[in-house]
C-alpha cells in the first residue's frame, strides 16, 4: 500500500463527502478509492468512516486522523514548494577552494560580481596551494592548477595559468635590461621555493624559456628564494631583482609601468587550470550558476584583464 496516496484519498473522501466524488478528484476508479480506504483501515486496525447506504461520516478516531493527515500532507506540500524554490533560485553557502595567488588576485574580485548577481548566495572561500579533497572537506567546487589525477570529478578546462618575467624600472635603471636569456645569469633573480615533489621544483634554480630555437634552460641565482608569490611580488616592486610571477598577479603592474616585462619574445612555462566539482552536486543552482560564471570569467579571457 502507498501510505501517502491512501492518506490523500482518505482526505478527498472526507472533503467531497463520497467515494465517487473523491475518485473523480483523484483520477481513480471508485473501486480503487474503496481499496485504499480498506487498506488504510487495516493498517491502522480501526475504522475511519461509519458507512450506511445513504451517507458516511467520520468515526471519532477518523476525525482525529483526518486532522493529522491534513498536517502531514501540508508538510509534504511545503517541502515540495521549498524544493521548487531551491531549484529555481541560487541560495545558501557555496564552498570554494582555490590556489592562494589566483584566489587573492582573480577570484576574490570576481566574487564581488558573482554575489551581486546572486545576493542569496554566501561564498565560503579557502585559499591553499594544497589540493583539498572536495568530498571529505565538503567543498562544492575547486579551481586547480596543473595536471589532474583520474577521478570521478567533473573537470572543466579554463585558460592556462601563465607567467611573466619582469622587474621594476628602478632595478633595470641600476643593473640594465637583459636582452637574451643568457643575460639573466648576470642578474639578481628572485626565485619561488616550491615544496618537495612539486612538478615545478626545478624552476627555483633553472628558468625555462621557449624561443625561436626551442626550449632554453637558464641557470639563475639571486639574493632571495621565497615560498610566497606575494613576498616576491613586493620585493620585485621594491627593485630587488628579476622575478617570474603569474600574470594574474602582475598584469595590472605591467600595464601601468610599475613593472616591466622582460624578454617578451620568449614564452614562459604555463599550467593548466580547471574548475572541478562532483557531478551529483551540479544540480544545485548555486553551483550551476557559479560554474557558468567561472567559465565566462576565465575560459576565454586573459587573466590580466
- Which pLDDT score, from 0 to 100, does residue 304 have? 40
- Spatial CB neighbours of 192, under 8 Å, sequence gap ≥ 6: 203, 204, 225, 226, 227, 229, 232, 244
Long-range contacts of 256-260 (CB under 8 A, 24+ apart): 257/169, 258/168, 258/169, 259/166, 259/167, 259/168, 260/166, 260/167, 260/168, 260/169, 260/172, 260/177
Domains of the chain, residue spans: 3-86, 92-160+272-298, 162-270
Q: Please state which CATH number belongs to domain 3-86.
A: 1.10.10.10
pTM of this prediction?
0.64
Overall fold of domain 162-270: D-Maltodextrin-Binding Protein; domain 2 (3.40.190)
Backbone region of residue 45 per phi and psi (left: phi > 0; alpha: psi in -120 to 50; beta: other values)? left
Q: Could you give the angle at the alpha carbon of 20 between the alpha carbons of 14 and 21, nearest 5°?
A: 60
Architecture of domain 92-160+272-298: 3-Layer(aba) Sandwich (3.40)
What are 16's three cell numbers? 467531497
- Which pLDDT score, from 0 to 100, does residue 204 have? 54
Average pLDDT along the chain, 305 residues, taken 10 residues at a time: 86 87 87 90 89 78 88 79 67 93 92 94 93 88 89 90 95 96 95 68 74 89 90 96 93 95 92 91 89 89 43
Using the 8-state DSSP alphabet, how is residue 267 labeled?
B
Buried b / exposed e along 104-120 (16+ C-beta atoms within 10 A) = bbbbeebbeebeeebee
Amino acid at each position: 500500500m502507498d501510505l501517502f496516496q491512501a492518506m490523500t484519498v482518505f482526505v478527498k473522501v472526507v472533503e467531497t463527502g463520497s467515494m465517487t466524488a473523491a475518485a473523480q478528484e483523484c483520477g481513480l476508479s471508485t473501486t480503487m478509492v474503496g481499496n485504499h480506504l480498506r487498506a488504510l483501515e487495516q493498517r491502522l486496525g480501526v475504522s475511519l468512516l461509519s458507512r450506511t447506504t445513504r451517507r458516511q461520516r467520520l468515526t471519532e478516531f477518523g476525525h482525529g486522523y483526518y486532522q493529522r493527515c491534513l498536517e502531514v500532507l501540508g508538510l509534504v506540500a511545503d517541502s515540495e514548494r521549498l524544493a521548487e524554490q531551491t531549484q529555481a533560485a541560487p541560495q545558501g553557502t557555496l564552498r570554494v577552494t582555490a590556489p592562494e595567488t589566483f584566489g587573492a588576485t582573480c577570484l576574490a574580485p570576481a566574487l564581488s560580481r558573482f554575489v551581486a548577481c546572486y545576493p542569496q548566495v554566501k561564498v565560503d572561500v579557502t585559499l591553499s596551494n594544497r589540493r583539498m579533497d572536495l568530498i571529505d572537506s565538503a567543498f562544492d567546487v575547486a579551481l586547480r592548477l596543473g595536471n589532474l589525477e583520474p577521478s570521478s570529478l567533473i573537470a572543466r578546462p579554463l585558460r592556462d595559468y601563465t607567467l611573466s618575467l619582469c622587474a621594476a624600472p628602478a632595478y633595470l635603471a641600476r643593473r640594465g635590461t637583459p636582452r637574451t636569456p643568457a643575460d639573466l645569469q648576470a642578474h639578481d633573480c628572485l626565485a619561488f621555493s616550491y615544496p618537495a615533489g612539486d612538478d615545478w621544483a626545478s624552476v627555483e634554480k633553472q628558468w625555462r624559456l621557449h624561443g625561436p630555437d626551442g626550449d632554453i634552460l637558464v641557470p639563475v641565482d639571486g639574493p632571495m628564494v621565497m615560498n610566497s608569490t606575494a613576498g616576491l611580488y613586493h620585493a620585485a616592486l621594491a627593485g630587488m631583482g628579476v622575478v617570474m610571477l603569474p600574470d594574474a598577479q602582475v598584469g595590472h603592474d605591467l600595464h601601468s609601468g610599475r613593472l616591466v616585462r622582460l624578454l617578451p619574445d620568449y614564452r614562459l612555462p604555463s599550467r593548466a587550470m580547471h574548475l572541478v566539482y562532483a557531478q551529483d552536486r551540479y544540480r544545485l543552482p548555486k553551483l550551476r550558476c557559479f560554474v557558468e560564471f567561472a567559465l565566462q570569467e576565465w575560459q576565454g579571457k586573459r587573466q590580466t584583464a
